[in-house]
Amino acid sequence: MTGKRLILGQVLEFLGDPAQLGAGATRHRRHGAVLIAEGRIAAVDEADTLRAAHPDVAVTDHGAHLILPGFIDAHAHYPQTAIIASWGKRLIDWLTSYTFPEEMRFADPSYAAEVAARYFDLVLAQGTTTVASYCTIHPESVNAYFTEAQARGLRMLAGKTCMDRDTAPAGLRDTAQSAYDDSKALIGRWHGVDRLSYIITPRFSPTSTRAQLGALGALWAEHPDCLMQTHLSEQTDEIAWMHSLYPEARDYLDTYEAHGLLRENGLYGHAIHLTPREIDRLAEVGAALVHCPTSNTFIGSGLFDMGLRARMRVGLATDTGGGSSFSMLRTMAAAYEIAQLRGMALHPSESIWLATGASAEALRLGDRIGRLAPGYEADMVVLDLASTPAIAQATTRAEDIWQAVFPTIMMGDDRAVAQTYVMGRPVVPA
């Protein structure tokens, strides 16, 4: 039958957040199946049940591999693909030494197109099917990303990064007006087209003037259904810099709040060094935080407080290329280690939920992606839970799915990705 396919393997279904629902949040099927119809999930059940009910449908059997929703990276910078793992700097020096020179190259649309294609190849190989990315100040960098995502049928989000202060280098600055105009035009061209969403994107208050923050706040008020993404309280040096540029601000969040950039559809990346007032305000408006653990250790920023999940939505992200990996498995491992340093042990169900359903909810896409459930888009990753000898031997005594998957969370990489599906189509390996 056309448009239908039955995918067999171990299946983990999430009914919600394990931190809230406990063991009842998940259902594991040792011999499970996902029925795909027209790119969406039509049913999730025991393999025998679905095979009997759909005897004519093509079957792909992944054996003991684990079928999960595709990973969702809630904060990345695709233009930093080529400068990932650059040595020896903290945030401000890292931006000026590595990031800004590389981002200048995106004035060339052909370079932007080349990196966008390379980036999607890399993340799909890691089992990531949705990314919320920053682009550069160049509208061409947004067009390159969305053009490539559209051609591949991906659900992707992104925005033009806006910077108009002289703290950003000449050649990498827009203006308050051009940021507003270009962002508005890009919303008109891309937002809601196919599987694409535009995100209003002031980089962070140290590289924007008050006028630019205000202009983007006004644009957001005109398009409240758009997400807005920015950086918040990542590093203590950065907070001191912010205060020198905005002496009137009560705290970092105030620079956004004062300019219409604090609402429920806001995504605040890093959010490590928050004051009690900032936490209260973020929770009051229903904003989302995005935890970027490999970046926070790589750039030396600090230890995010997972306890904030009790107050607000929190997504998980690589923060490529401040983050040191394209892999959401590696990102889950780093989140586990940071939580340990803060006295919390993240259960494997929470780690997987953070990389799937929680990130989908942070991006306001929790009704379409991030879960294996009827009606959801069939973006999926299939994991080999014994992808290397080291992982295989660590799972030999596993007594349940959590013990079986945890070594892959801690030690896995793209070798664990047996298959990535986009709208039910296998895309990696080709």
Site for ligand GUN in 174-213 (CB under 6 A): 203-204
414 binds ligand GUN (CB under 6 A): no
For residue 93, the minimal CB distance to ligand GUN (Å) is 12
DSSP 8-state secondary structure symbol assigned to residue 167: T
Least distance between Zn ion and beta carbon 154 (Å): 20
Output the smallest distance, CB 102 to ligand GUN, in A: 10
| Helices 401-411 and 328-341, axial angle in degrees (round to 10) | 100
Q: Are the C-beta atoms of 131 and 73 separated by less than 8 Å?
A: yes
| Phi, psi of 124, deg, nearest 5 | -65, -35
Residue 138 binds: one of Zn ion, ligand GUN, none (C-beta under 5 to 8 A by kind): none
Supply the minimum distance, in Å, between the C-beta of residue 413 and ligand GUN. Answer: 21
Nearest residue (CB) to Zn ion, 57 versus 82: 82
**Nearest in space to 381 (alpha carbons), one of 424, 419, 411, 331:** 419
Give strand ranges (E) for 71-226: 71-77, 128-134, 156-159, 161-162, 196-202
User: Which residue has the closest beta carbon to ligand GUN?
Assistant: 322
Name which of residues 60 to 89 contact ligand GUN (CB under 6 A): 77
**Contact of residue 234 among ligand GUN, Zn ion, none (CB under 5-8 Å per partner type):** ligand GUN
Which of 91-99, 109-117, 210-218, 275-283 is the region at the interface with ligand GUN (rule: CB under 6 A)? 91-99
Q: Are 125 and 118 in contact (CB under 8 A)?
A: no
Of 86 and 388, CB closest to Zn ion: 86
> What x-and-dash track marks residues 250-289 binding Zn ion by CB under 5 A?
-------------------x--------------------
**Which residue's CB is nearer to Zn ion, number 195 or number 203?**
203
In the complex with ligand GUN, the residue whose CB is nearer, 128 or 295, is: 295
- 3-class DSSP assignment, residue 230: strand
Report cis status (omega within 30 of 0) of the bond before 127. Answer: no
Minimum separation from the CB atom of position 406 to ligand GUN (A): 28
Which residue lies nearer to ligand GUN by CB, 296 or 419? 296
- What stretches of 299-399 show up as alpha helix (H) in DSSP? 328-341, 348-353, 359-362, 389-394
CB proximity list for 320: less than 8 A, separation 6 or greater: 73, 76, 77, 78, 80, 81, 84, 326
Kindly state the number of chain residues that form the binding site for Zn ion, as judged by CB under 5 A. 2
Q: Write out the binding residues for ligand GUN, residues 23-52 only, by CB under 6 A.
A: none
Identify any residues that bridge with 252 across adjacent strands, giving them in sequence order.
Answer: none
Q: Does position 127 bind ligand GUN by CB under 6 A?
A: no
Nearer to ligand GUN, 182 or 238 (CB): 238
Stretch 315-334 residues interacting with Zn ion (CB under 5 A): 319
Segment 318-377, which members bind ligand GUN (CB under 6 A)?
319, 322
In the shown chain, the binding pattern of residues 258 to 297 toward ligand GUN, with x for contact by CB under 6 A and - for none, equals: -------------------------------------x--
Using an 8 Å Cβ cutoff, are 130 and 70 in contact? yes
Which amino acid is residue 340, in one-letter code? Q
State the pairing for strand pair 26-37/4-14.
antiparallel
- Rounded CA-CA distance 150/159 in Å is 15
3-state secondary structure of 337: helix
Give 135's contacts (C-beta < 8 A, 6+ positions apart).
Answer: 78, 79, 106, 141, 142, 145, 158, 159, 160, 161, 201
Q: Which does 203 bind (CB under 5 to 8 A by kind): Zn ion, ligand GUN, none?
A: ligand GUN
Q: Which is nearer to ligand GUN, 71 or 204 (CB)?
A: 204
Site for ligand GUN contains 231 (CB under 6 A): yes
Query: Strand, helix or coil at 402?
Result: helix
Report the residue number, 272 or 288, with the smaller CB distance to ligand GUN.
Answer: 272
The structure tokens listed for 109 are 């649309």
Residues 6+ apart with CB under 8 A from 248: none
The residue ranges that bind ligand GUN (CB under 6 A) are 77, 91, 95, 99, 203-204, 231, 234, 295, 299, 319, 322
The residue ranges that bind Zn ion (CB under 5 A) are 269, 319
